[in-house]
Structure formats: C-alpha cells, structure tokens
Structure 1
Amino acid sequence: MSAEPLEIHLDDRDISRSLRRDVRVGLTAAVKWLPPKWFYDSRGSELFDEITRLPEYYPTRAERAVLAAQATEIAELTGAKTLIELGSGSSEKTRLLLDAFTQHGGLGTFVPLDVSVSALAGSTAALAADYPGLRVRGIVGDFTRHLEHLPTGGRRLVIFLGGTIGNLLPEERAAFVAGMRAALEAGDWLLVGTDLVKDPAVIVPAYDDAAGVTAEFNRNVLRVLNRELGADFDPAGFAHVALWNPEQEWIEMRLRAERSMRVAVLDLNVDFAVGEDLRTEVSAKFRPEGISRELAAAGFRTERFWTDPDGLFGVTLARAE
C-alpha cells in the first residue's frame, strides 16, 4: 500500500511568519532566546542524527532499549487501531512499535505528524513500503498548534518520543498536555518519553560532546537566520555553552558572544555584549512522580512507567480518563 498524499496544515509562508515572530520576540527580550525548533533545517537534522550516535548522547540509546523491551506489552495493553506520532522525523524508533503492533494484529493506520514536508514524504514512503498492510497518513503540522487535525475514531495511541516534551517550558508543557487530552477521547492512550533527573556529570556531556558536534548544531540556528532572514550573524563569534540548572532541573544550551557585536536581522539591530548569552534550548529532566502529576493534571492516568536498565530514560504509558 502506498502512502497517502500528505495532509498539509503548515506551509512555507506560515513557517516564515512563525520564524519572524520568534526572532523579533526572542532577540528583543531582556534575556535573549530562540526556540530550538529553528535548529532543524536539512543540515541541522543531519547534525542531530550524528549527535544521537555520539558516545556521550545516551537518550536515544536508552529510549530505544525501553521500546525494544516493552513494545509487545504496549501493543497488548493498548490494542490501538491508530498509532499517531508527534514530531515523527524518520520514525526510526517507532518501527519497534510498528513491528510489535503488526505481530499483535489490529493496527490499521499510522499517522506521523512533523513540520518538515521533505522528511515526512521520505519517511511515509519508506514506511508504506515496509508495512504494506498499514495505512500511512502523514500530517504536516506543528504539534503545539495542530492537534485538532489528528484523526478521530477507533482506539488511538499517541506517541511523543525523544524527550522532546522537555523542550517546552513548564507553562508551555501544561498547555500542550491539556491540548493533547482535549484532542483525545476517554480510553485513548498516550506514550511519552522523558529524560530523567540524574548526575549532571552524565547529562552535561550529552549536550557538550568532545567532538564538538553539538556546538555546530547549536550554531546552526544562526546560519538558519542568516539564510532565511538575511541576517549577518558570525557563527564563529559565538561559543557553545551547556549549563545544568539545578533549581529548574533542566539543561540550557546557549550561544555566548565572544566579542561585542551588532547583528542586523529583519529591521532590527541587535547588540550583543561580550559574554552575553543567547539561550537556544531548554531540555527539562523529569522525575517519575512529576511526570505522573503533570499528566494527571490534564486528565491522564499513568498505567505503566518503564526505564532502561541504567535508569537514565523513562517511558510513560498513560490513558485518557
């Protein structure tokens, strides 16, 4: 069965407006910031794929270990007819679930949602070829804005992997989980991957690897702004910084100006003092009780919580009440 034509709710103009809005708001804030989603042009995606294979970067390996061990139980517990993946990318880890659901029987449709048309077109074509009995319906959209377009009916399982939920600030996370519950019906399921609180000596190197790949990934956001908005950032003028915030229990990635500079972007002249930081990512780490509490506040009941053998990464299966 071939993949269905992509359902597009996010076009180039919409993406451009969103980028311009984020840049204007973030670069004029008292403490400058940019959202991490702007890392991911084609080069950024390649760099992130490289990051996931680095020895320091444990989250991908740890989450894969959980899914490999628990995929059959997830298929048996949920009995889902429709599997929906938010921020799907290549859906590489999702194949562990698709294999389990295929063996269990009953799954009819897979719906990956992602902002990238090219990535989604490639992944849906490959998945349709590899799972010929499965209906593959890709949706181009932003998981913070387009949940109302998820397919309805049947028993649904929504998966949100990779610890991506940790990139949302607490108020954003609460709004997202509430929106997710509003998009589902009682009895539907949610599977979410979360990086866990642990020794910062383990966490920080995952965001500041010895080979410097994460540093290049971090600076890539400046190259995106140069290309898309005609900005004149000098990426080499910014140092990559990864800091553990013990109060918030999150890692912050920043770009630190190594000299004073003025950057032209849009109709702005943005001044950076030497040593000034531009925050590009927050990645929250979680405790099991905190995950359950946040999900419960939105109307989800935690049914299972698993970790990898080393207790680095958690996967929570919750049901909409």
Structure 2
Amino acid sequence: MKAIPARSVRPAEMEGGATFDFAADVVAGLQATPKRIPSKYFYDTAGSLLFEEITQLPEYYPTRVERGILTENAEAIAKLLPAGRALIEFGNGSSAKTRIVLRAARELSAYVPVDIAAEFLEEQAKTLRLEFPSLNVLPVAADFTRAFDLPASLRTMPRVGFFPGSTIGNFDPPDAAAFLHHSGLSLGTGAVMVIGVDLVKNEAVLHAAYNDAAGVTARFNLNLLARINRELGGDFDLGSFEHRAFFDRGHSRIEMHLVSRAVQRVSVDGCSFDFAEGETIHTENSYKYTVEAFQALAREAGWRPIRVWTDSDGWFSIHVLANEADAANQPGPRRL
C-alpha cells in the first residue's frame, strides 16, 4: 500500500482546549471530598519522560514482564491480526512494545497512536516513520477516554486496537467496561483488541513497584502539582506534599495519593483550597485482575476472548479479544 505523506500530530480532537479541561478537572477535583485529580493529567512531556524512567526501574515489573510476553508470543499474536488493518494504540508511551507488534505484523497498513501528550507523541511518531518507512504513521493528539475522530483515510479500513501497559487498570471497573464498549464501537464490528492486564499477586511485589527506592514514582506523582503550577498558575509547595502508594485489598487496586504534610492553603486558577495535615489528593488507581475476572468484564462490554498469554509467574496477562458481531447494536455500559 502506498504510504501517506508524513504529517504532524492532529490536535483537532482536543476541541474546547486541553488547558480548559485541565483547569476545570483540577478545580472540580480539589473541590471534591475526598480531593482527587484524574491520572491522565500525569502525562505532560515531563510526566511522560518520568514514566519512561519508571518503566526501566528494577522494581517496576509490568513493562518488563509484558514486553517478555509480547516478544515470546509476537508471531502467534500477529496471526490473529488480519492483513491490511490499521493498528490503533490507546496511549503511546515509548512505543517499545508497539515495535514488537509492528515487526511481527508486517502486513498492517497503518499505525495510529492516540495520546494526550502531543509533543511526546510527535517525537515518537517521527522515530517510527524512520524505522517503518512503508507504514502510515498517523498520530492523533486526543484524550482517548473521550470521543475522537480517526484520520479520514482510515474510515473504511478494518482496525485492531492495542492497549498495552495495563492502562485499563487505571479505570474503575464500570468505567473500564464502558471504555471497552465504546472502543468496540469506534473500532467497528469484527475488530480485534490486544490488551495488557496486570494480575493479582504478592502485595510486597506490588508495594515495591509503586514505591521504588530511587523515588522516581514519587517525582512522577509530584510532577502533577508542578504541572498545575506551570500551566494553571498554582502555588503548590512541592516540599509540603509527599507520595503515598498502597494496595487496597478490598478493591484489588493500588492507590496513589499526594499527602499534605501540614495545614496549608493552595491557590489554583483563581480558586483557593484548604488542606489539613495528612489530607490527600487521590491521583491514581491501578486495578489488578484475575484472568477470569477480566474476561468477564470484556464479555460484558461486547468483546469475546480469543486467546490469553501470561508469564511463568502469573504476574501479567495479554489478551486478544474479538468485537462481537452485534456489539454495535448493544446499549452497553453507560459510565465513562
């Protein structure tokens, strides 16, 4: 297939302005009880780079283990991805895992990374165009948790969804089901989804992964406040907050928080917010599933499990799902 000329990231899907959404979501979250900020706002350029650093840490098993599963089973996965399809990746990251799939599935026609961090996305796209010159690389700067438009050239092309990194675990389960359902509508009847899902495991392993000795995850968490200061005129004193992450067994999830170390008042976007000592901002959840629990969630959302692979320790899983023929006619979950 003839390659489409390279082009820059498409920001049109960010209608209303990403800054406006960021400000509105931060103010609403800090006004809530308990306080919270959506984890998608971790990923400005600085946050994306910090996360890439996290993925290299010895304690942070998900990236290493998922990459191993993909590498070992790339050919088998590629056989489940029909030729001529476009690979749509929800969230881009470093593209290291994407490369494993692209090298194995050489008959894919296009690759569309969708990510909220536009500058980081464009840099990754430039690198991939050089590495895969016959592949149409069409980055889209958008919040993939909301409706967005795909490039017009793909509207009649069958699609494969790619959602690695267990990012699905950052959604509460009802929202995860809603995301999967709406993704099925976007990808179309007959689509395939390849998705990474972190599994329930020893709590000591989980604790270490989100509380690394080098403090990179703490810097990643605190960068959210630094971003608010940079972009929204906030006056957070980063030294007055600290990172906290723990496993909530009842919800089967890791929770990440920023903890106020003192009684203080903070201003953001013209609004003031009071913090008690020990009060937290809830910044992220990371749900851990069993294989059976995730497959049940996928079925609820209109997907049929085809294959699943895990590592030898049973720490991580990669699922291939098929969009059911009648998924577009199902009402599906309503949240998200």
TM range, normalised to the smaller chain?
over 0.9
- Superposition pairs for residues 132-147 of structure 1, below 5 Å? 132-147=133-148
Which whole-Å CA distance do the structure 2 matches of 1:279 and 1:198 have between them?
A: 23
Give the secondary-structure state (helix, strand or coil) at the position aligned to 2:161: strand
The answer (yes or no) to whether the contact 1:167–1:283 under 8 Å persists in 2 is yes
1:101 aligns with 105
| Residues 10, 115 of structure 1: 8 Å contact kept | no
Percent identity (aligned): 42
Cα distance, 1:11 vs. partner? Answer: 4.5
Shift of 1:230: 0.9
After the TM superposition, which residues 16-95 of structure 1 pair with which residues of structure 2 at under 5 Å, given as runs? 16-80=19-83, 81-95=85-99
Contact 2:170 2:286 in 1 (8 A): yes
Aligned to 2:334: none
**1:85-127, Cα deviation, whole Å (9 max, x unpaired):** 110133121000000012xxx2211111111221222111211
* Unaligned residue ranges in structure 1 (runs of 5+): none
Partners of 1:160 and 1:245 lie apart in 2 by 24
Question: Which residue in 2 is equivalent to 1:272?
Answer: 275
SS of the aligned residue for 1:215 comes to helix
Q: Is the 8 A contact 2:45 2:119 kept in 1?
A: no
Q: TM-score under structure 2 normalisation? A: 0.90
Whole-angstrom distance in 2 between the partners of 1:7 and 1:41: 17
How do 1:186-265 and structure 2 match up within 5 A? 186-265=189-268
Alignment partner of 1:304 out of 280, 304, 307: 307
The Cα offsets for residues 158-185 of structure 1, whole Å up to 9 and x where unpaired, read as: 1001111111122321221111111132
The 1-side partners of 2:15 and 2:193 are apart by: 30
Match of 2:205, SS?
A: helix
Is it true that 1:180 corresponds to 2:183 in the alignment? yes
Structure 1: distance between partners of 2:188 and 2:119:
31
Q: CA deviation at 1:65?
A: 0.5
For the residues of structure 1 that align with 2:140 and 2:272, how far apart are their CA atoms?
37
TM-score (norm 1): 0.95
What residue number does 1:126 align with? Answer: 127
- Map of 1:292 onto structure 2: 295
Contact 2:43 2:117 in 1 (8 A): no
Letter in 2 for 1:243: F
Counterpart amino acid of 1:145?
A: R
Shift of 1:211: 1.2
Report the Cα distance in structure 2 between the residues aligned to 1:57 and 1:84, rounded to whole angstroms: 26
Q: CA deviation at 1:45?
A: 1.6
- The letter for the 1-side match of 2:102 is L
Q: State the distance in 2 between where 1:65 and 1:300 align.
A: 25
| Count of residues paired in the alignment | 318
Instruction: Report what 2:327 is aligned to.
Output: none
User: Which deviations, in whole Å up to 9, do the C-alpha atoms of 1:38-68 show, x marking residues without a partner?
Assistant: 2222221221111111111000001101110
Q: 1:154 to 1:42 in 2, by over 3 A?
A: closer
The answer to whether the Cα contact below 8 Å between 1:9 and 1:146 also exists between their aligned partners in 2 is: no
SS in 2 for 1:220: helix
SS in 2 for 1:158: strand
Q: Contact 1:197/1:249 (CA < 8 Å) preserved in 2?
A: yes
Distance 2:14 2:306 in 1: 37
Which secondary structure state, in structure 1, belongs to the residue aligned with residue 293 of structure 2?
A: helix
Pair 7,269 (structure 1): closer, same or farther in 2 beyond 3 Å: closer
What SS does the aligned partner of 1:253 have? strand
Amino acid at match of 2:57: L
The answer to whether the 8 A contact 2:81-2:105 is kept is no
2: CA distance between counterparts of 1:211 and 1:160? 28
Deviation at 1:82, TM superposition (A): 1.4
Q: Structure 1: how far apart are the matches of 2:13 and 2:160?
A: 23
